[in-house]
Structure 1
Amino acid sequence: MKKLTPVFFISVFIALAFILWGVFAPGNLEDTTGAIQGFLTEQFGWFYLLAATGFVVFAIFLVFSPIGRIKLGKDDDEPEYNYLTWFSFLFTAGMGIGLVFWGTAEPVMHFFDPPTAENIRGEDDAAAVALRYSFFHWGIHPWAIYAVVALALAYFKFRRKSAGVLSAAFEPLLGDRIHGGIGTTINVIVVFATVFGVATSLGFGAMQVGGGLGYMFEGLENTLTTQMIIIVIITILYMISAQTGLNVGIKILSKANIYLAAILMLFMLFSGPTNYIMNAFTQTLGSYAQNLIGMSFRLDSFSLDTGWYEGWTIFYWAWWIAWAPFVGTFIARVSKGRTIREFILGVIAVPTIFAGLWFSAFGGTAIHLERELGTNIHGVIGEVGEEVALFELLQHFHPLGTIMSGIAILLIASFFITSADSATFVLGMQTTNGSLHPPNSVKFIWGIIQSSTAAILIMSGGLEGLQTAAIIAAFPFTIIMIFMIISLMKALRTEKIPPRKPRKE
């Protein structure tokens, strides 16, 4: 415990203060954070849109720039992990549990409530727009946000041999001041966003597992007691995993996630309307590319009704930015030895394609069933919640649907474990001055804080307020990211660009 920094103690104090606020005044927490978040999205939606798109442009610039040949490490360093392991890490830490949660629900919700700026001329247009915006919200933009943070951390940690904390990326701009109050503030914001972002995801994950179990076992209700039991079991499992380190627990579970997700997606692809799914994927991919610039800047300002975009696009951009410190730190840790070009292409392109296939398979099938068979998945979402959309869809594929529901629950639980495990690792790094192997005792403390936060706030009803509090942290962190890019470019200008590799004859 000798490695603990002031960031640890300040962050623990803030976390406990917010937990107590959520326990004793959940309504006040939700109202207060909701008012702040509402103000930010209404008044600064343009800022989130410009910033997120700016991160995409910066990432594309690095891919095509000679800078892309620079390695994240020494010039002779080789990647620590093969492509399969590396991609499984990206998938697990980035948004795996979110894809399972929203893969069915979001396209269906967009189908029945499309963006107001789109000229919808019937169900065909509504279906096309629903999938296109699902691709948009889970595609290039979020992964570019993650890539920017991860790149800065990996570059300074592995090439400049700086501490593996976010404040270290500001040394070219701030010099030794990163070791003072400014650096501590940056790192506390990182820990704040990570703790509360992951804790709320754990809470919603527990609700989805409970909803799935309720679908599978008649008489088992998704009650508060059920959710508490799920959190306790998952906590025990991920704490065991956390003690084994990055190369055992997280690595094994990340690969298991990929296999389970592939099984589930292949089942839906071949049991569902296969031709429709692949046609939808192909067409939506083209439509997404064609409309990317317009969607990136769209707020529907001239209709004076920006509610849809504030509730979806801007909310998502803020949520991805809030998650960027956690995901970026984890991705940076597993990306040593890759060139900047290889890193950005891997972090952005592969997950974007996979997410598109996922939404086409599950969201596309759900929309197809709603239109062709008159199913009521949308009605169930409105009555019960988004967490049961996947299980409602799987019920239409007897007799294997029940088995697939079981696999889906296993996948959610596995994502649950790896997300929490990854977060304890990141929190351990950020509060021990960037140690690549944070002490198990520190990871244990953060693991207990995360699970306790989720459990207490589910019981008190303050979970959504805390989720909003985490997203509020995205506003200052967006500004931090902008200056991080400036600092990174200042450092990259001093680099000697490696020569191109000669082509093989």
Structure 2
Amino acid sequence: MRTGSTGSQSGRTSADQRARAARILQEVTSPGTLGSPHPALLPGIGVEQTHLSFRIDRVVFAVAAAVVLAVIAWGLLLPAGLAEFAGAAFELVTVDFGWFFGVLTVVVLVFMMWLGFGRHRAVRLGQDDEEPEFSTISWVTMLFSAGIGIGLLFYGPLEPMSFFLDPPPAFTGTEPGSGQAMHVALAQTVFHWGPVAWAFYALVGGAVAYAAYRKGRRPLMSALLEPVFGERSHGILGKVVDVFAIVVTLFGTAVSLGIGALQIGRGVEIVGGVGRLGNAVLVGIIAVLAVAFILSAVSGLKRGIRALSNINMALAGLLGLFILVVGPTVLLLNLVPGVLMTFVAELPVMMGQSAATSPDAQEFMSAWSTYYWAWWVSWTPFVGMFIAKISRGRTLREFVTAVIVVPSAVCLVWFTVVGGTAMWLEQTRSAMSASESGEDMLFALLRELPFGAVTSVLAIVSIVIFFVTSADSASIVMASLSEQGNPTPRRWTTVVWGSALAAVAAVLLVGGGEVALSGLQSLMMVSALPFAVVLIFVMAAWAKDLARDPLTLRRRYAREALDQGVRAGIEEHGDDFVIGVVATAPDEGAGSWLDTEDPALSDWYRPDEGDAEPPPDPSTPPSAPAPRE
């Protein structure tokens, strides 16, 4: 009997303990427990839970459309004048502002490393208990397909080969065509395509996801500046920023599509054994692909982009694995760690190259590094907003690791395998440098390996899919920007911007082929310059937001409370004490440093009454959880 009584008493005690634990848990997690939302207890809020509505911003849409139409008309009516303007603007950006892009790349990379692995690393891009929507594999594959897929195939053999035959000015002592030149060429390529590029994407993607899914703001570039500019970010200043975001997205993506169209056309010529394709065929290629990516865009994110992304990353992965197996496998496997060590060792040299004043260094920066930095900046609104859509629910540590570290590692392996094979072929057969153009380089490499005809067809298919996924992502983002950040923009706006994107690429390419592509690249750099300034304010605004994040506040509460509790315990009880929670006089407790009445700490938490659950009544204790079976 005594044993049964003891067991019954133990069960009641256990239930009481669970009830008390549940009550404490509610007290520290429910915003309504203290009568009004406490800034350190707010769980975050998604934009869809707010009272915001999404309408077409007629000013942003009209101004951005007018700019795009003006460029198209200029290219059709006065192509020489457009080329002259683009050339002068290119020189201005690269010569007078090349240093600015160089400094910005370093600042952005350091800032994102601080966010991902510093004191804010546990902050979630969403509500406190929100789970990621996509699996990690699908997440990473979508990052690549929307990011730099076409560039990987185009520049994979081309850029390492260029530096192999003509080492960058920072490595003037390296003999062209040597083994050391191979390491230097790949390290310089990874410098352009690795952590620096992905840090730009992570900056905007993370800032948009944080603002939209944790602070309930519109997923707009202008909304990111609210912590710095306040209400002015919703006025003329904000509209200017959003217009620039649309324009820079369109030109940046058009460069990629132009490269893809030229390479697809050249691949058809080589594989089909036909002569040079005329402008009509080039326009036809762009038109067919435009229909494909617009249909993909209006089909929805999950059904369109995710399916194509998974298929294409598998296809590109198989192509890279094939090159690794049938190419110089042992050399490539040895190159991967060697290139990584060279990259780490020479990183300060490559970063400092932008500050060199010699003519050779300036010419190199204009042709390569500064061009890349501007290109990445121009892609940040489009890739960043797309990354934000698929990264909801991730912590900053997960986000930075996946968006910067993992893709950079994949880029290292890809360029080492494809570029290393191209340089090996150049050393052993002198085949690659005889390519007529950059578009020929990939197909020349595949032609030197077994089953060249088959792999060339697969490469064309992969480029086509990258073309489609990049363009449909950009179309959705531009439509969203013109609809006040609408996560699911109207189909007709998506079609309008997708058509405009295809029209810009087609008009300029048909007008001058590769020469016109250079002009398009120059226009991209011009539009990227003002947006690079916007990125500085984005970093300042995001840092300010994170300093007031509920998780940041709770952690400081914890440090202050533990410090005070431990000191008081030792002073009063020596070694024999435990930490408890008791009330203190005002301005003496763990939160005496925080002004909880500051509206900046809680005004952002505005759930729509129709969607939000009412806070529990503090006077009513929660029911005890049922005992475990």
In 1, are the aligned partners of 2:116 and 2:399 still within 8 Å (CA)? no
Q: Which has the higher helix share?
A: 1
2:494 is aligned with 1:443? yes
3-state SS of paired residue (2:258) = helix
Q: Any residues of structure 2 matched to 1:225-244 within 5 Å, and which?
A: 225-244=280-299
Contact 1:66 1:497 in 2 (8 A): no
- Counterpart of 2:446? 394
Instruction: State the 1:313 CA deviation.
Output: 0.9
Alignment counterpart, residue 340 of structure 2, candidates 274, 278, 285: 285
Q: How does 1:196-345 map to 2 (within 5 A)?
A: 196-299=251-354, 301-305=356-360, 306-345=362-401
| Residue number among 466, 474, 493 corresponding to 1:415 in the alignment | 466
Equivalent position amino acid for 2:121 in 1: G
Deviation at 1:413, TM superposition (A): 0.2
Counterpart of 1:466?
Answer: 520
Q: Distance in 1 between the 2:258 and 2:529 partners?
A: 23
CA gap of 1:300–1:114, structure 2 versus 1, over 3 A, is farther
Question: Displacement of 1:304 after TM fit?
Answer: 4.1
- What SS does structure 2 have at the residue aligned with 1:67? coil
State how 1:346-365 maps to structure 2 within 5 Å: 346-365=402-421
CA distance in 2, matches of 1:320, 1:374: 33
User: For 2:467 and 2:359, how far apart are their aligned partners in 1?
Assistant: 40
Kept in 1: contact 2:198–2:403 (CA 8 A): yes
Amino acid in structure 2 at the alignment position of 1:444? V
Cα distance change of structure 1 residues 125 and 338 upon mapping to structure 2, 3 Å threshold? same
TM-score by length of 2: 0.77
Deviation at 1:460, TM superposition (A): 1.6
* Equivalent-residue separation in structure 1 for 2:545 and 2:57 (angstroms): 28
Decide whether the 8 Å contact of 2:55 with 2:484 is kept in 1: no
Determine the structure 1 residue equivalent to 2:121. 68
Structure 1 distance, partners of 2:197, 2:473, is 19
Matched, 1:35 2:88: yes
> Structure 1, residues 376-427: CA drift from partner, whole Å, max 9, x if none?
x1221xxx321110001000113x1111101100000000011111011101
Tell me the C-alpha RMSD between the 2 structures. Answer: 1.5
The CA distance in 1 between the partners of 2:411 and 2:208, in whole Å, is 25
Structure 1: segments with no counterpart, 5+ residues: 501-505
Distance 1:198 1:301 in 2: 30
Q: Secondary structure at the match of 1:104?
A: helix
| Structure number with larger C-alpha Rg | 2
Write the distance in 2 (CA, Å) between the matches of 1:194 and 1:480: 14
- Contact (CA 8 Å) 1:395, 1:401: kept in 2 or not? yes
Are the aligned partners of 1:207 and 1:222 in contact in 2 as well (CA < 8 Å)? no
Query: Contact 2:282/2:510 (CA < 8 Å) preserved in 1?
Result: no
Q: Deviations over 1:26-73 (max 9, x none)?
A: 222122122112122112221111110100110111122121100001
Structure 2 residue runs of 5 or longer lacking an equivalent are: 1-53, 556-629
Does the aligned pair in 1 maintain the 2:90–2:525 contact within 8 Å? yes
Alignment partner of 2:449: what SS? coil
Deviation sequence 1:82-135 (CA, Å, 0-9, x none): 111110111011101100010011111111111122121451222221111111
CA contact 2:286–2:502 (8 Å) conserved in 1: yes
Is residue 116–residue 300 contact of structure 1 (8 Å, CA) maintained in 2? no
Alpha-carbon separation, structure 2, partners of 1:19 and 1:307: 30
Which whole-Å CA distance do the structure 1 matches of 2:236 and 2:167 have between them? Answer: 46
Residue type matched to 2:356 in 1?
S
* 1:156 correspondence with 2:208: no
8 Å contact from structure 1 (residues 213, 220) kept in 2: no
CA distance in 1, matches of 2:151, 2:157: 11
Residue type of the alignment partner of 1:478: A
Given that 1:72 and 1:337 are in contact with CA atoms closer than 8 Å, whether structure 2 keeps it comes out as yes
SS for the counterpart of 1:69 is coil
- Code of the residue aligned with 2:285 in structure 1: it is I
Match of 1:12 in 2: 65
Q: Shift of the alpha carbon at 1:482?
A: 0.6
- Partner-residue secondary structure (3-state), 2:518: helix
- Once the two structures are superposed, the pairs formed by residues 94-133 of structure 1 within 5 Å of their partners are 94-118=147-171, 119-121=173-175, 123-133=178-188
Give 1:220 deviation, angstroms: 4.6
- The Cα of 1:302 is off from its aligned counterpart by 4.9
State the distance in 1 between where 2:296 and 2:325 align. 34
Residues 102 and 373, structure 2, Cα contact 8 Å, conserved in 1 = yes
